[in-house]
Amino acid sequence: MTNHSKNLPKTDVLSGIQPTGNLHLGNLFGAITNWVDLQNRYKCAFCVVDYHALTTVPDAQELKANTESIVIDLLACGIDPNRSILFVQSDVPEHLELYWIFASLTRYGELARMTQFKEKGGNRETVGLGVLNYPVLQAADILLYGASKVPVGEDQLQHLELTREILRRFNKTHGFLFEEVQALTTKVPRILDLKNPSAKMSKSHPEGAVFIDDEEGIVRKKVKKAVTDTGDDQQEMSPSIENLMGLLHACNQDQYNLMLDAYNSQNLRYGDLKVSLGNELCEYLKPIRESKNEWLQKKEEVREILFEGAKKASSIARPRVEIARKLVGLG
Ligand code: ATP
Ligand code: MG
């Protein structure tokens, strides 16, 4: 079978984040730390997925402000526009072109089964079509760049599985164009909501999330108020404590080891764990917050970065879409 992807420009890594609110610890430790790290080894592209967010942010001013703010958050966390392509999804309309081609290969049942769809109102008559189709557009986001590595949190693994299904179906039906993709998760792939440890921390539920630009006092307060177990059943670490321990591990391994020793000898006081975690999070977030303040003074430079990012992204996306169009019989 002819390999149509041969010689096409590509990136190794592609990942995205929605401009639906501020960056929280789940985004940071579940995905972004990996993004920053992967820049040292691979050609990466990172995308603020505003088409996706259109389904949940109906206010134009808010969407625009969120998009700018998430870009600045990513720069503050260490995404380096000199090494990686940083761009806004809607600046590259090829995403929608490939999306529709993929939508015609995807079945309603496959989308209706997705956990995220169910969690975001899938059982309601009024649920937006965009919420249902989210994973189809996500498949286009990734495959448009020929990326084989996709650093995401655990909540996105099911969508990645569907991306694989879609690309295999395309290759089989129309000819080989899309390489296999692989998810890359961090050591803490699922950070839980501090108020509701049965759910993941999420931008859509700000009550249980710690945001990277929360004031230090707020960070400590939120951690202090995190739900824990009663401490009665010491057989196994409960999800809520495991969550706090995971966050501590992501910030400072020495402190984590101290707390783990205390836990193992049944001497861990949850109050002490919370104080330690509050302190370590503040330490960890300090340079990010400082960098964010600097980027906020350089809005013109940020606009330039996004302009260049979109140009580079388009130059990779366009040739692959052209071939996809030919293979399915368009144009
Ligand atoms: P929304 O509530 O609008 O869906 P979100 O908080 O889920 O927002 P996304 O923009 O959907 O954030 O996801 C961006 C990245 O962050 C994805 O790779 C996702 O897997 C990861 N991520 C989101 N929440 C968590 C979490 N609680 N733990 C680990 N990773 C997460
Ligand atoms: Mg999400």
Q: What is the pLDDT of residue 208?
A: 95
pLDDT digits (tens, 9 = 90+) for 32-46: 999 999 999 999 999
Q: What is the pLDDT of residue 234?
A: 61
Q: How far apart are the first and last CA of the chain?
A: 23
Whether 6 is covered by a domain: the verdict is: no
Query: Could you give the angle at the alpha carbon of 32 between the alpha carbons of 28 and 36, nearest 5°?
Result: 130
Give the residues of the chain that fall short of pLDDT 50. none
Q: Is residue 110 located within the same domain as residue 68?
A: yes
Q: Which domain holds residue 135?
A: 13-188+299-328
Q: Which of 200, 222, 274, 292 is catalytic?
A: 200
- The pTM assigned to this predicted structure is 0.96
Q: Is residue 126 located within the same domain as residue 229?
A: no
Q: Is residue 129 located within the same domain as residue 213?
A: no
Q: Is residue 269 located within the same domain as residue 126?
A: no
Q: What is the pLDDT of residue 66?
A: 97
- The whole-angstrom separation of Cα 142 and Cα 178 is 10
CA 91 to ligand 2 center in whole angstroms: 21
Whether 153 is covered by a domain: the verdict is: yes
Q: Is residue 34 located within the same domain as residue 69?
A: yes
What is the DSSP annotation of 110-146?
HHHT-HHHHHTTTTSTT--HHHHHHHHHHHHHHHTTT
Q: Is residue 179 located within the same domain as residue 234?
A: no
Nearest to 165 by CA among 143, 150, 190, 189: 143
Query: Is 79:291 a contact under the CB 8 Å cutoff?
Result: no
We report the CATH number of the domain holding residue 110 as 3.40.50.620
Ligand 1 site residues, Cβ closer than 6 angstroms: 17-18, 20, 26-27, 30-31, 152-153, 155-156, 189-191, 200-204
Q: What is the pLDDT of residue 194?
A: 97
Q: What is the pLDDT of residue 235?
A: 72
